[in-house]
Amino acid sequence: MFGSFQKSQLRIEIDASQQAITESLLHPKQLGKWLSTGRFPSGMPEELYSGFEFTTRVGPVSIHHQVDVATPNSLRLLLSQGIDGFHEWYWGEGWVQSRLEGISLLPLSLGQSVNLFSLRQYLKSKGN
């Protein structure tokens, strides 16, 4: 894998219930509304579950995701191809934490920041 090892951990407050955050992170239809890549392949389940695999693109770069853990307050994705590493999400009432580690040419902490603020804006616009 080309690139450098990068890691980032961010936690933000979000004016939303744990249930609203859960739905926004585990339901691909909602994920597609706020995630910067926004496009998911056809055949996505209604809710992400352990063992499910899918591939997204960031420009010309493909990123393969394997759902390692999916619970009502956490999500862990194992990443390969454009990012070799993992992305963990934890959340509760009014907060979200994201931890990303991997080797990539992509600026991971920038993408992570954009995604967290996009999630915050999405939930704010929904009025949760």
Whole-number pLDDT of residue 1: 65
Query: Full-prediction pTM beyond 0.75?
Result: yes
Distance CA 65, CA 57 (A): 11
Distances (CA, A) of 83 to 7, 26, 28, 109, 116: 12, 21, 20, 12, 18
Classify domain 4-126 at the CATH superfamily level.
START domain (3.30.530.20)
Each residue's pLDDT, cut to its tens digit, for the chain (128 residues) gives 678 999 999 999 999 999 999 999 999 999 989 987 767 888 899 999 999 999 998 888 899 999 999 999 999 999 999 999 999 999 999 999 999 999 999 999 999 999 999 999 999 998 75
Write out the two tokens for 65.
């995701």
